[in-house]
Amino acid sequence: MQQALSSLDPTQQQQLLVAGSAVAVGGLLTCYYWVYQGTKTKRIPIGDGWWGAGEKPQSEDEKVFPFQVQTSDEEIQDLYDRIDRTRYTEPLEDTGFQYGFNSTYLKKVVSHWRHQFNWKKQIAILNKYPQFKTNIEGLDVHFIHVRPPHREGQRVLPLMLVHGWPGSVYEFYRILPLLTNSLDSLAFEVICPSIPGYGFSEAPHKQGFDTLAAARVFHKLMERLGFSDYYLQGGDWGSIITTNMAQMKPECVKGLHLNMLTNKLRGFGVLFSILIGRYLPWLVGFTREDVRRLFGSVGFMERNFYEIIRETGYLHIQGTKPDSAGCGVNDSPVGLAAYILEKFSTWTDFNNRDLEDGGLERKFTLDDLLTNIMIYWTTGSIVSSMRFYKENLKTNIDNRLDNHTGVYVPTGLAAFPNEVRHVPQSWARDRFRNIYSYSYMPRGGHFAAFEEPQLLADDLLQFVKKVEKL
């Protein structure tokens, strides 16, 4: 051994020493990891709640009643009047979307909204799928419920899709036919609820409605609809809500599929992999694609810290004083559009910040984007949707039991390349203990169902087939 070492030049010896030390440290960390994991609980309490106005009644009305989106000429005229009174600020030269929504392009969007966009036509599209409401924990919860057409020999499984912010159930309108009207041997009966405080679901009247409360409410919804076990899929807040559902009642969740992954950038294993992963990816379970997405050409700190800081100003506002900022965007339709659509630009691809039009029409039509805006505008739900951040961030996150509880149901993870942050499978295993599939998606960003419905549907289908052993 000593003779073999002496035959190496100093640089090779140093590299071997670093690798050997890394292996030793990695072994210790692995032992620590498995000991630590053994202390994690396997489920979180279900609890109960009441979010309606006033005191909780003796009994709850559990009726499910049909719902349709409606409008009036007065509502549309009020929108036009407010749009016509908009006061714009000229953008700085050569800034694209670096300072937020570029007002030169904003004028084009608003002109389309005012003169070409047909809200009544879009309402007909919204109403093409059956919609309902039912009162759960004092709130009228809105949901879409789509059953597939009967096909001989086709297996049908229940699936809940959960949206996030600043989205709505409309994000799923392009993926719904792919899931429910498939010629495959497998199809889904899909339930898409609006998170309370978003769109057509009633907003909580009391403080404290967080992802755990939403998870419980959605379990109660599925139970009320007659489902005892089902699949879940989510992104953004939807990924956290569905994860909480899997932690809360794992016996009801046949499988969990996510297109946004979260983990804590701390702990010995993660810190070690950040330090060594670019140079010895195999040692920490990274693939070449993980290295490319985590480090890229700008380095880990730039991609995963400075970029996140630049893009999370909204989170600090909404997590502290949502009503202050919300007052303005709830009163101005153009302000609301700028605030929301900037996210559909940047979170689709960070490079869109360099474009004057924010790249919005590369993945979306203006009619689709404005339909989502109109759901927030006509329901006046932007403030209550922003409050959801405060409810989830106002307590010490480390004290939340769900952050110390593993997920043991079968899990499928779809990692889209332009998601705000990449989480390798080796990091995801810290929380998700039963990963059936982990897919590096070829394209797409944060709004997967809206941007790349076929890719997401295909990945969801292959995951479910693995779980069902089809």
Which residues are marked as active site?
Answer: 236, 389, 446
The closest alpha carbon to 191, from 165, 156, 167, 166, belongs to: 156
- What secondary structure letter does DSSP report for 407? B
Strands 230-234 and 253-258, by their bridges, are parallel
The closest alpha carbon to 257, from 389, 357, 325, 162, belongs to: 162
The closest alpha carbon to 231, from 161, 147, 143, belongs to: 161
189: three-class secondary structure by DSSP: strand
Report the distance separating Cα 280 and Cα 116, nearest Å.
55
Q: Give the type of residue at 199.
A: G
Strand order, beta sheet including 411-415: 64-67, 131-136, 139-146, 186-193, 155-162, 230-234, 253-258, 411-415, 435-440
The phi and psi torsions of 462 (rounded to 5 degrees) equal -65, -35
In sequence order, the 6+-apart residues with CB closer than 8 A to the CB of 302 are none
Report the distance separating Cα 205 and Cα 139, nearest Å.
9
Q: Are 327 and 87 in contact (CB under 8 A)?
A: no
Give, in degrees to the nearest 5, the angle at Cα 258 between 318 and 98. 45
- What secondary structure letter does DSSP report for 401? G
Report the distance separating Cα 308 and Cα 296, nearest Å.
15
User: Can you read off the two tokens belonging to residue 378?
Assistant: 């006509």
Report the distance separating Cα 11 and Cα 381, nearest Å.
62
| Cis amide leading into 442 (omega within 30) | no
- The string of DSSP codes covering 127-164 is TTS-EEEEEETTEEEEEEEEPPPP-TT-EEEEEEEE--
Give, in degrees to the nearest 5, the angle at Cα 232 between 227 and 235. 150
